[in-house]
Amino acid sequence: MAQPIRKLLVAATWMWALVALPSDAQQPAPASRTQVVLLGTGNPPADPDRSGPATAIVVNGTAYLVDFGAGVVRRAKSAVVDKGIAALDPVKLRVVFVTHLHSDHTVGYPDLILTPWVLGRRVPLEVYGPNGIKEMTNHVLEAYRADFDARTRDRALYTVGAFPEGHAVNAHELRAGVVYKDANVTVTAFPTKHAMESFGFRFDTQDRSIAISGDTNPTQAAIDACSGCDVLIHEVLTLEWLAKRPDFQAYAARHHTNTAQLTELANKAKPHLLILYHASLSLRPAVDAERSTPAALLEEMSGFNGRVVVGRDLDVY
Ligand SMILES: [Zn+2]
Ligand SMILES: [Zn+2]
């Protein structure tokens, strides 16, 4: 590059920096960036491309999970290996929120209790969920008593996973309102409308606000919980798929949200980013040709006046 041109560019860069500096200084960069990691975006079908519902909010090296569908611990390890998110190492999974007790959201519970313990977790799991989570916890712990007894009895042989405190669970039954607060995050539960007691959660961190619906019919509570939030993660069923499933329509009309309803809801909630999950989707026709494609889902959501994406397992936002 000719010397005069180089000088001109350097000068221009400095001038831009001087102009840019004051506004940058007024808005210091946050100390960390909160990440949303989609561990499982599926629902009950045994879809090899979409694990059961599980979402991680990662703040300052700490992970907070919402739901534990099938595959949750292995997807967490995939996030470590494939996405470099060390906070999702299984032994670090410690705080979890449960939207409701349907099996597709909870079938990974023994995995979440046992696998990190066997790998070396030495603190109890803290679980926050609706009424019934304590009873479910007691039953799961009882179901695996033989394993706990055996590994703990042979403590001298198990150098890693023999610490009884690591398979303990503190289950907290929650009500709507602020349910958890620490230096990283405030978590607020809001009531949702589903086939059993259910909640959605809003996470407020230093730099982001994130609302997650769980399974629900459209509710004003979800609109209020987001209300201009950075990220809204919402379940959805396509009209295309519902048209093929008359057997499911009455249930869906009461307990789930279709694309027309979500479009209306999201236009009121005004998230900066809408992530669709727990959708009537298939990523490959060979898995389920009846379900919609991501493109068809987005087409049905085209009335949303904002940014919308189809969430896939291990996406990071
Ligand atoms: Zn579900
Ligand atoms: Zn459900």
- Judged against a pLDDT cut of 60, whether residue 50 lies above it is answered with yes
Q: What is the pLDDT of residue 165?
A: 83
CA–centroid distance, residue 162 to ligand 1 (Å): 34
- What would the pLDDT profile of 166-202 be if each residue is shown by its tens digit? 899 999 999 999 999 999 999 999 999 999 999 999 9
- Judged against a pLDDT cut of 70, whether residue 148 lies above it is answered with yes
Residue 156 CB-density burial (10 A; 0-12 exposed, 13-18 middle, 19+ buried): exposed
- Judged against a pLDDT cut of 50, whether residue 164 lies above it is answered with yes
Looking up tokens 């990974």 gives 108
Question: CA angle at residue 16 from 11 to 21, to 5 degrees?
Answer: 125
Ligand nearest to the CA of 43: 1
% of the chain at pLDDT higher than 90? 82
CA–centroid distance, residue 124 to ligand 1 (Å): 26
Handedness of CA 64, 68, 51, 214 (dihedral sign): negative
- Judged against a pLDDT cut of 90, whether residue 152 lies above it is answered with no
Q: At what angle do helices 133-143 and 109-119 cross, to 10 degrees?
A: 50
CA–centroid distance, residue 6 to ligand 2 (Å): 62
Q: What is the pLDDT of residue 13?
A: 42
- What would the pLDDT profile of 249-304 be if each residue is shown by its tens digit? 999 999 999 999 999 999 999 999 999 999 999 999 999 999 999 999 999 999 99
Ligand nearest to the CA of 193: 2
Q: What is the pTM of this model?
A: 0.89
Question: What's the CA gap between 109 and 112, in Å, rounded?
Answer: 5
Q: What is the pLDDT of residue 22?
A: 36
Average pLDDT, the chain: 91
Ligand nearest to the CA of 45: 1
* Beta strands 273-279 and 231-236, pairing class: parallel
CA–centroid distance, residue 51 to ligand 1 (Å): 12
CA–centroid distance, residue 95 to ligand 2 (Å): 21
Q: What is the pLDDT of residue 160?
A: 66
